[in-house]
Amino acid sequence: MRHLVIIAVPPEVELMNDERLAHTFVELADTLVDEFDLVEFLHVLVDRCVELLDVSAAGLMLADSRGRLQVMASSSENIRLLELFQLQNDDGPCLDCYRTGKPVAHPDLAHARDRWPQFAPAATHAGFRTVHALPMRLRAQIIGAFNLFHTNPRQLDRSVTRIGQAMADVATIGLIQERSLRHHEIVVDQLQTALNSRILVEQAKGVLAERRGINPNDAFILLRGYARNHHHRLTELAAAVVDGSTTATELLSTTTPHLE
Amino acid sequence: MTEASRIERVWGAITARADALGVPVSLRVLCETAADRLSISGVAVVIQGGFVASELICVTDALSRRLEELQLTLGEGPTLDVLGGSSAILVEDLDAPGYQKRWPLFAPQAVDTGVRAVHVLPLHIGGIRGGALALYTDHPARLPSETLAEAWVFAELALELLLDEQAGIGIQNGYVPACWQFETPAEVHQATGMISVQLGISVGEAFTRLRARAFADDRPLSELALDVVARHIRFDHEDTG
């Protein structure tokens, strides 16, 4: 069964590289088939956002059953750490966005210390100056936040907000399967399942890193590449790595060093 | 309801009950609190067996015990499905044709026994499968989303208690479940995977070892995990840490 995905493309899109944008939406819609892998889907989404919207980094956070945000996907390691910093210090635009359900943006974080006393200095220290935080919304429920960062201070661009929001909506569609659009009680379970897939991938990164003597980021690149090339769902491959089952034998073997 | 306080409310209710009974916090107290707060007839916690049958470790009432035993006897049912790897199973009415067909032996007998709604949540942390939390109701019921969110918090806390018990971490006065302190950074799960390879054990055991070490060294779990990921600490020769 394929999901019918209708995406309203904002008018500003015409001003951008039409072909590249169209290609991205087709790629994302194509991923949304039955049995698609959510972790992989969200990583493709944040990576494409960085390219399309000409931002420096993107991150996506989801709320768990405790109502706390968890980092689900990020385009780079430093943005993951910055997202984590917000959560640990309970301070930052993504949290404000999640709590209010409204977009939050700032054109220059070097002058945002009053608003985010802990986040603003940390973000500028990490090299980021502009932020857009966009809500992930399903009807009345806010399920997470989608965040875009840029290294230069710049005017807040409406097209970034509009297209970014369209991307956030696509991410929400990916998270929420068809049946939950009728039974919203199920949403909490799907979010839990999504977050658990993410944890599984982290455990697999650790297993692979230790087996092959590499760092977890390189382990993730290896895991994703192998899943793509061998047509495995990322989460299923991660489970095989963690369980040491046969699907992952080649990947775990230290005698096959040049895998891609 | 403010989101951030959900776990505090649930944990507060569990500790209040334990205090009122004059007993330490335990899985039993947790299950009884869940039955009360969620307006559920009965609650059961089943832990994942190895090669043998799963183990029923806590039930609040005879009905839940009967339902769990029924599934083990018949070899089918929602708890067994969750233990087998399914995500949460939410059944509003076992008497509905779809469920009668899905569990042809279990569903009719469960209805005869007096159970109509059953909600089973997995006790999972990634590849760690700890077991399942089953909620039984004697009338058809769909749990509202807030109740379901609380049920997930109960499930998470149940797994915390199980893991801490395994790690030899005493649950006495002032005990605070680790999951409450912070959201768990990715490094904790990465370190778990690394330790499982270092020691040749499952991720579940590796997670237990990591928690036990953090507790013994009186360090935050996340801090210890960072050291493991940075390869400052190995678990295959612990004395060098």
Distance of residue A250 Cα from the nearest chain B Cα, in angstroms:
16
Task: Say yes or no: B143 and B228 in one domain.
Answer: no
- Dihedral of the CA atoms B46, B48, B54, B57 (nearest 10)? -30
Of B105, B134, B166, the residue at which a domain comes to its end is: B166
Residue in A68, A84, A196 nearest the CB of B126: A196
What pLDDT, in 10s, does the model give residues A168-216? 888 888 877 644 544 545 567 778 888 889 999 999 999 999 999 999 9
Task: Say yes or no: B128 and B227 in one domain.
Answer: no
What pLDDT, in 10s, does the model give residues A86-124? 888 889 999 999 999 999 999 999 999 999 999 999 999
Cross-chain Cβ contact B152/A200 below 8 Å: no
Distance of residue A61 Cα from the nearest chain B Cα, in angstroms:
12
Residue A70 and residue A107 in contact, taking contact as beta carbons nearer than 8 Å: no
Task: Say yes or no: B68 and B119 in one domain.
Answer: yes
**Distance, CA of A222 to CA of A209 (rounded, Å):** 10
Task: Say yes or no: B101 and B210 in one domain.
Answer: no
Task: Say yes or no: B200 and B230 in one domain.
Answer: yes
Cross-chain Cβ contact B2/A67 below 8 Å: yes
The residue among B190, B197, B221 with the most chain A CBs within 10 A of its CB, best to mutate, is B190
For residue B108, tell me if it sits in a domain: yes
What pLDDT, in 10s, does the model give residues B135-174? 999 999 988 888 888 999 999 899 988 888 877 776 665 6
Residue B215's domain comprises 182-240
Task: Say yes or no: B119 and B208 in one domain.
Answer: no
For residue B176, tell me if it sits in a domain: no
For residue B172, tell me if it sits in a domain: no
Residue in B121, B127, B144 nearest the CB of A185: B144
> Using a CB-CB distance cutoff of 8 angstroms, which residues of chain A are in contact with residue B126?
196, 199-203, 242
Give pLDDT, residue A202. Answer: 96
CATH of residue B141: 3.30.450.40
> Is it the case that residue B3 has pLDDT exceeding 50?
no
The residue among A84, A210, A237, A254 with the most chain B CBs within 10 A of its CB, best to mutate, is A210
> Using a CB-CB distance cutoff of 8 angstroms, which residues of chain A are in contact with residue B127?
200, 203-204, 238-239, 242-243
Average pLDDT over residues B101-108: 95
ipTM score assigned to the predicted complex: 0.86
Distance of residue A152 Cα from the nearest chain B Cα, in angstroms:
28
Give pLDDT, residue A8. Answer: 52
Average pLDDT over residues A72-82: 86
For residue B103, tell me if it sits in a domain: yes
> Is it the case that residue A84 has pLDDT exceeding 60?
yes
For residue B175, tell me if it sits in a domain: no
For residue B230, tell me if it sits in a domain: yes
- Dihedral of the CA atoms A157, A159, A162, A164 (nearest 10)? -80
Question: Which residue ranges form the domains of chain A, and what is each CATH number?
Answer: 11-175 (3.30.450.40), 195-252 (1.10.10)
Give pLDDT, residue A184. Answer: 47
For residue B173, tell me if it sits in a domain: no
For residue B171, tell me if it sits in a domain: no
What pLDDT, in 10s, does the model give residues A32-75? 666 678 888 888 889 988 888 888 999 999 888 777 788 889 99
Give pLDDT, residue A3. Answer: 44
Of B139, B166, B193, the residue at which a domain comes to its end is: B166
Quote the number of domains for chain B: 2
Cross-chain Cβ contact A202/B2 below 8 Å: no
Residue A132 and residue A156 in contact, taking contact as beta carbons nearer than 8 Å: yes
Residue of A nearest to B192 (CA): A203
Task: Say yes or no: B133 and B200 in one domain.
Answer: no
> Using a CB-CB distance cutoff of 8 angstroms, which residues of chain A are in contact with residue B232?
none
Task: Say yes or no: B10 and B88 in one domain.
Answer: yes
The residue among A182, A183, A191, A203 with the most chain B CBs within 10 A of its CB, best to mutate, is A203
Give pLDDT, residue A117. Answer: 95
**Distance, CA of B10 to CA of B20 (rounded, Å):** 15
Give pLDDT, residue A181. Answer: 47
What pLDDT, in 10s, does the model give residues A214-236? 999 999 999 999 998 998 999 99
Helices within A53-186 (DSSP H only): 77-89, 93-100, 119-125, 158-175
Residue B211 and residue B169 in contact, taking contact as beta carbons nearer than 8 Å: yes
CATH of residue B227: 1.10.10
Q: Which of B79, B114, B70 is nearest to B95 (CA)?
A: B114
Cross-chain Cβ contact A68/B4 below 8 Å: yes
At residue A258, what is the residue type?
H
Task: Say yes or no: B35 and B137 in one domain.
Answer: yes
Residue A7 and residue A29 in contact, taking contact as beta carbons nearer than 8 Å: yes
Cross-chain Cβ contact B126/A203 below 8 Å: yes
Task: Say yes or no: B96 and B197 in one domain.
Answer: no
> Is it the case that residue B240 has pLDDT exceeding 70?
no
Task: Say yes or no: B154 and B192 in one domain.
Answer: no
> Using a CB-CB distance cutoff of 8 angstroms, which residues of chain B are in contact with residue A88?
182-183
> Using a CB-CB distance cutoff of 8 angstroms, which residues of chain B are in contact with residue A242?
126-127, 193, 196, 203
Of B107, B132, B166, the residue at which a domain comes to its end is: B166
> Using a CB-CB distance cutoff of 8 angstroms, which residues of chain B are in contact with residue A212?
none
Task: Say yes or no: B211 and B157 in one domain.
Answer: no
